[in-house]
Amino acid sequence: MTVSACQVAALAVAATAPPPAPQVVGYPTLFVLVVLGSILPVIPTGALVSAAAVVAWHAGTPYDLPLVLAVAAFSALVGDIVLYWLARHGIGGWLQRMRRRVDTPRLDAAQRHLGTHGTAVVVIARLIPAGRIPMMVACLSSGWSVRRFLRADVAAVLAWATCYLAVGAIGGSLFAEPWQAVVVVIALTLLATAAPAGWRWLRGLANGSQPRPGDRSAG
């Protein structure tokens, strides 16, 4: 998590810069980081989007928040499709890596819901912390083509980006100083991301067994 912490900190520093800085530098940076975070689920992409929304809120121009939404959704879509394509074509062992991050009960549940509800489940899974990778593995196991997954993922990334944009905008409206809102929204989104893994760990202790070391996934 060292890389992700540094990147989130860098975006937080950008929040205290004059308005032109996030406009000129922040959008390309947000795009690159969200794409990378979607492929390598160690970067907290939700926290990045919320922090960028704080910057946009305090910039005060009417197009900043819509631009953050567009960049976040498009970059998440690009990252998802690249990851899905790599896994589907068996390149670089990505499918095996993804399978190691998903335990059998979650995969079975994802496949069952996918068969019943289809696209709607892809959207919901994208909004649930640690829900994206199990659903992608379920889609791969069900033989979904890249094109079919793309059609479902468009709605999913739009819903995801809107959710984290709202968190950042609300945080920005509650604090006079941008850095205060950035710290709060990053803490909240990281806590929400870590909560499912923490719950499974506690449940494993209660059941007298430990979850597998690789049994975790980022949204």
- CA nearest 57: which of 157, 163, 158, 182? 182
Highest-confidence segment of 56-60, 78-82, 209-213: 78-82
pLDDT one-digit tens code per residue, 79-105 = 999 999 999 998 888 888 898 888 778
DSSP-assigned letter for residue 102: S
For the chain, what is the mean pLDDT?
79
Half-sphere exposure of 9 (CA within 13 A, CB side): 6
**Residue-range domain boundaries for the chain:** 2-101+159-206
List Cβ<8 Å contacts ≥24 apart for 14-20.
14/55, 15/51, 15/54, 15/55, 15/58, 15/178, 15/179, 15/181, 15/182, 16/178, 16/179, 19/58, 19/59, 19/60, 19/61
DSSP-assigned letter for residue 42: T
pLDDT at 214 over 70: no
pLDDT at 19 over 60: no
- What pLDDT is stored for residue 43 in this prediction? 81
How would DSSP label each residue in 181-210?
HHHHHHHHHHHHHHHHHHHHHHHHHHTT-P
Q: What is the pTM of this model?
A: 0.77
Higher pLDDT, 183 or 74: 74
pLDDT one-digit tens code per residue, 160-198 = 999 999 999 998 888 877 777 788 877 877 777 665 555
Residues written for the chain:
219
- What pLDDT is stored for residue 205 in this prediction? 59
User: Per-residue pLDDT averaged across 60-87, rounded?
Assistant: 94
Q: How far is CA 11 from CA 30, 108, 182, 211, in A?
A: 9, 38, 9, 33
